[in-house]
């Protein structure tokens, strides 16, 4: 478990700033809370706390809950300050109950959720939104825009949290998370609008109807996350096929991917870039499938055979191009480019080469040297391979990536898991 002493200083300051901002906001505007409506506030609090007690792990980072619909109803029927109080305290209670009482983490999660919902409620009011006039421009449009504010704010706090914790840039991760969750959040607006109208025109107790839809919402979230898992399993199947055809043997692709991801983190690339580079490392030699007869032959590689092998980057890029992320295909295509422009397939030079490809190039070279096989017939020790990589800095490899590679070795024992002669 992370303790306050082990947390990066800017991360600690971020946590304190968010919690203080929520506390100051509550203190300044406490008089705006409609305490006479305490039964309704309590109902919201109980429902939000209960739904947040059952989070679903997100493979990328953090957890996903089914509280979004309730948050949208809350911000549309209560004052912004009431929304801050209820959303923040209820979410903190649910978080602490499901994941354990860690004070700084519990207070941060409650504060960031309270601020996110409060800002969205403020936007809803400024746009003239009201469930008592349930029209498109008077209710649905303000609610939709408020939901975007809530989503953007919540994604900002979460990605900033993990970015500062891991000491990596957060902005691109924030954009990706915002895009990934946009459609699912917008799809919750109709049900939130219906519940808000029932709340206003029928009875607040109609909120309990939300519990009926809760299993279906959890199922939808799990289905979305399972699609990511199926996507990963499909890639793993390709990796098995790659390793079966590759002279370096089983595990080569995974070792390249792990080292490439470690280098990307060492350079402090954003999480989306690290994810793409790891995928690029896994699939960098997918174009080798079917070329095993060239490696099994005892005859030396002649020019036609060598040219055929070089085509694997183009074939691999075509396969990787079927993935949703274009940058993975670019990594696969260009991981044999040299920093000085003498590589293939396009002879790119320096910064013209995608940074992911420059990273995978170093990772693959080190792994191939220590494993033996084409294009390194001799098997080197880890120290010998490191020296070979260092000598090629500025020629075959990006000096910045080589420096990160050497620094990673100096501070990590991960290299001990690679093959030694």
pLDDT digits (tens, 9 = 90+) for 173-197: 788 778 877 877 888 899 899 999 9
Q: Does residue 312 share a domain with residue 202?
A: no
Residue 236 forms part of a structural domain: no
Q: Does residue 157 share a domain with residue 14?
A: yes
* Positive or negative: CA dihedral 204, 205, 206, 212: positive
DSSP 415: G
Let me know the angle formed at the C-alpha of 287 by 284 and 293, rounded to the nearest 5 degrees. Answer: 125
What is the b/e burial string over 363-388, where b = at least 16 CB atoms within 10 angstroms of the residue's CB?
bbbbbbbbbbbeebeebbebeebbee
Q: Does residue 257 share a domain with residue 327?
A: yes
Q: Does residue 176 share a domain with residue 77?
A: yes
Residue 408 forms part of a structural domain: yes
Q: Does residue 258 share a domain with residue 174?
A: no
Residue 218 forms part of a structural domain: yes
DSSP letter for each residue of 124-176: HHHTT--TTS-SIIIIIHHHHHHHHHHHHHHHHHHHHHHHHHHT---HHHHHH
Q: Does residue 329 share a domain with residue 198?
A: no
Residue 237, beta-bridge partner list: none
Q: Which of 229, 264, 298 is the last residue of a domain?
A: 229
Distance of CA 177 to the CA centre of its chain: 7
Q: Does residue 253 share a domain with residue 195?
A: no
Residue 278 forms part of a structural domain: yes
Residue 235 forms part of a structural domain: no
What is the number of domains present in the chain? 2
Residue 110 forms part of a structural domain: yes
Q: Does residue 77 share a domain with residue 110?
A: yes
For residue 9, CA distances in Å to 5, 6, 166 come to: 9, 9, 12
Q: Predicted confidence band at 275 (pLDDT cuts at 50, 70, 90)?
A: confident
Q: Does residue 381 share a domain with residue 336?
A: yes
* CATH number (domain holding residue 8): 1.10.1760.20
Q: Does residue 194 share a domain with residue 273?
A: no
Q: Does residue 253 share a domain with residue 113?
A: no
pLDDT digits (tens, 9 = 90+) for 281-313: 988 888 877 666 555 544 455 556 667 777 888
Q: Does residue 403 share a domain with residue 284?
A: yes
- Indicate the range of 12-16, 142-146, 368-372 predicted with least confidence: 368-372
d(CA 114, CA 154): 9
* Cβ–Cβ under 8 Å, residues 214 and 200: no
Q: Which domain holds residue 269?
A: 246-417
Question: Which has more confidence, 250 or 158?
Answer: 158
* CATH number (domain holding residue 279): 1.10.3210.10
User: Which residue pairs from 216-224 have beta carbons closer than 8 angstroms and sit at least 24 positions apart in sequence?
Assistant: 217/66, 217/69, 218/54, 218/56, 218/66, 220/184, 221/56, 221/64, 221/66, 221/184, 222/56, 224/184
* Cβ–Cβ under 8 Å, residues 287 and 311: yes
Mean pLDDT, range 41-55, rounded to an integer: 89
Residue 238 forms part of a structural domain: no
Q: Any residues with CB less than 8 A from the CB of 302 and at least 6 apart, and which?
A: none
Residue 282 forms part of a structural domain: yes
């Amino acid at each position: 478990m992370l303790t306050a002493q082990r947390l990066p200083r800017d991360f600690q300051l971020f946590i304190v700033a968010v919690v203080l901002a929520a506390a100051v906001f509550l203190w300044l505007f406490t008089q705006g809370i409609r305490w006479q409506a305490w039964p309704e506030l309590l109902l919201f609090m109980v429902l939000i706390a209960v739904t947040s007690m059952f989070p679903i792990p997100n493979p990328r980072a953090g957890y996903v809950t089914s509280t979004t619909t309730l948050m949208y109803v809350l911000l549309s029927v209560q004052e912004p300050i009431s929304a801050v109080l209820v959303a923040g305290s209820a979410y903190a209670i649910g978080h602490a109950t499901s994941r354990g009482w860690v004070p700084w983490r519990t207070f941060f999660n409650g504060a960031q959720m309270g601020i996110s919902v409060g800002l969205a409620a403020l936007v809803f009011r400024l746009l003239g939104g009201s469930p008592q006039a349930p029209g498109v421009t008077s209710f649905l449009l303000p609610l939709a825009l408020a939901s975007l504010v809530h989503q953007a704010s919540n994604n900002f706090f979460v990605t900033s949290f993990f970015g500062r914790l891991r000491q990596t840039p957060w902005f691109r991760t924030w954009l990706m998370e915002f895009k990934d969750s946009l459609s699912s959040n917008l799809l919750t607006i109709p049900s939130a609008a219906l519940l808000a109208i029932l709340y206003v025109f029928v009875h607040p107790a109609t909120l309990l109807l939300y519990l009926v839809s809760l299993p279906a919402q959890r199922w939808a979230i799990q289905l979305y996350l399972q699609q990511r898992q199926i996507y990963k399993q499909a890639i793993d199947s390709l990796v098995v096929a790659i390793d079966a055809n590759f002279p370096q043997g089983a595990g080569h692709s995974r070792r390249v991917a792990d080292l490439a991801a470690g280098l990307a983190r060492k350079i402090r690339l954003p999480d989306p870039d690290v994810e793409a580079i790891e995928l690029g490392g896994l699939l960098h030699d997918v174009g080798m499938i079917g070329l095993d007869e060239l490696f099994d032959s005892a005859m030396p590689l002649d020019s036609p055979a060598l040219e055929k092998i070089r085509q694997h980057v183009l074939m691999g890029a075509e396969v990787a191009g079927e993935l949703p992320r274009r940058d993975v295909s670019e990594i696969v295509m260009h991981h044999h480019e040299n920093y000085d422009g003498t590589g293939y397939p396009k002879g790119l030079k320096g910064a013209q080469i995608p940074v992911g490809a420059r990273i995978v190039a170093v990772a693959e070279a080190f792994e191939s040297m220590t494993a033996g096989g084409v294009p390194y017939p001799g098997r080197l020790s880890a120290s010998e391979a490191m020296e070979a990589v260092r000598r090629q800095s500025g020629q075959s490899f990006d000096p910045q990536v080589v420096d990160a590679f050497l620094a990673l070795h100096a501070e990590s024992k991960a290299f001990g898991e690679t093959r030694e002669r």
